[in-house]
Amino acid sequence: MNLTRKFRASLLSTVGRFSSQDIVVLGDMVADEFIYGEISRVSREAPVLILKQRDCRIVPGGGANAANNLADLGARVTPVGLVGDDRTGLTLFEYFRNKGISTRGLLRVEGYITPTKSRILGGLSHWQRQQIVRIDREPPENNREELRKLVSRRVARLLAGKTGVLIADYGYGATDASEVLSLRRRIGDAKVPVVVDSRYNLHTYSQITAATPNEPEVEAAYGKTIGNNTALLFELGHTMLERQSLKALLITRGRDGMALFERGKKPQLIPIFGPDQAVDVTGAGDTVVAVFTLALAVGAGFSTAALLANCAGGLVVMKRGTATVTVRELKEAIRNA
């Protein structure tokens, strides 16, 4: 990425204003658990490895990771969603509280299972640890509508003074397209961006500011495979932009970078920032949507917001596990671009 001195200064100025933003993150608060073990021997019970557990850590994932990224980028953030009274839910709650992130929007529900992704990683001593298996724990589906209404009432009381809204829909039921449409109408002010990152229900969201799906999510929405077909990418991007009445659509494409669609403009292909061999893509989409939302909240255009999100995404995929990007890292990358 080659930047003129003037444009570099503009990007740095945009990042410098992140700390004045106050963002609501509405959606699924996920816990990412990493269990690290050292390979000991092969089990006698079955042809599987026995790991001696050396460490276990729980960090924010999903919407909670988006909130964590916003906080590390200097913004004030209020996550709104559900956590259970289980171990991972309590850990998330304490994580936010200890970091100074507001917990006013978190509904602690007795008996609720906090969505948890447990990754078990193993390796020999002093070797790089590899993920062996992932175990997901998910909340039941029987009372999701009732809980969704509770979450919507909670977020409605917390909107005053907010400069942006980030929706993190991972399919666990904390919110949905109809609730977000109602929220958009309640906000009223078109200057307050509402940006959606939806894993499974992308096609249901409409009349929002922007969405940040990855390419497989767009393919799933239309039942088509894009691959290297740029014409199909442009066709599906324009279709989604128009059908869902979006102002912008930012599609992340892994090593192929990003594609930005705006109303009345030609699609913009953005090359990947940094090496094309990622170390770990876990949670990268949360970083992208956090930076994109923040930049829009500051008042940046979609192109500038996309470039900053692309830069942040390139930085975070070079870190292991669920990670965040800081203002200092983002500014350094811009200066060196």
Q: Is there a contact between 225 and 234 (Cβ–Cβ < 8 Å)?
A: no
pLDDT tens digit sequence for 146-169 = 999 999 999 999 999 999 999 999
| Token pair of 263 as six digits | 């109303």
274-304 pLDDT, tens digit per residue, is: 887 788 888 899 999 999 999 999 999 999 9
What positions carry a catalytic annotation?
286
Question: What's the rounded Cα separation, in Å, for the pair 118 and 99?
Answer: 22
Q: Tens-of-pLDDT digits for all 337 residues of the chain? A: 667 888 889 999 999 999 999 999 999 999 999 999 999 899 999 999 899 999 999 999 999 999 999 999 999 999 999 999 999 999 999 999 999 999 999 999 999 999 999 999 998 877 778 899 999 999 998 899 999 999 999 999 999 999 999 999 999 999 999 999 999 988 887 789 999 999 999 999 999 999 999 999 999 999 999 999 999 999 999 999 999 999 999 999 999 999 999 999 999 999 988 887 788 888 899 999 999 999 999 999 999 999 999 999 999 999 988 899 999 999 999 998 8
pLDDT of the residue at 312: 95
Q: Phi and psi (nearest 5°) for 132?
A: -100, -45
Sheet containing 258-262, strands listed edge to edge, beginning at the edge strand earlier in sequence: 106-109, 76-84, 22-27, 164-169, 194-198, 210-211, 248-252, 258-262, 268-270
| C-alpha to C-alpha distance for 277 and 275, rounded to whole angstroms | 5
Tokens 């014409």 correspond to: 231
Give the residue extent of every domain in the chain.
Answer: 5-31+60-114+140-336
Q: How far is CA 268 from CA 159, 251, 262, in A?
A: 33, 10, 9
Helix, strand, or coil here: 83? strand
β 194-198/210-211 pair status:
parallel
**Closest to 55 (Cα-Cα) out of 330, 325, 333, 320:** 320
* Overall pTM > 0.85: yes
The CATH superfamily holding the domain 5-31+60-114+140-336 is Ribokinase (3.40.1190.20)
Q: 101: which residues sit within 8 A by CB, 6+ positions away?
A: 67, 68, 71, 77, 78, 79
Round to whole Å and give the CA distance between 34 and 57: 5
**What is the reported pLDDT for 2?**
67
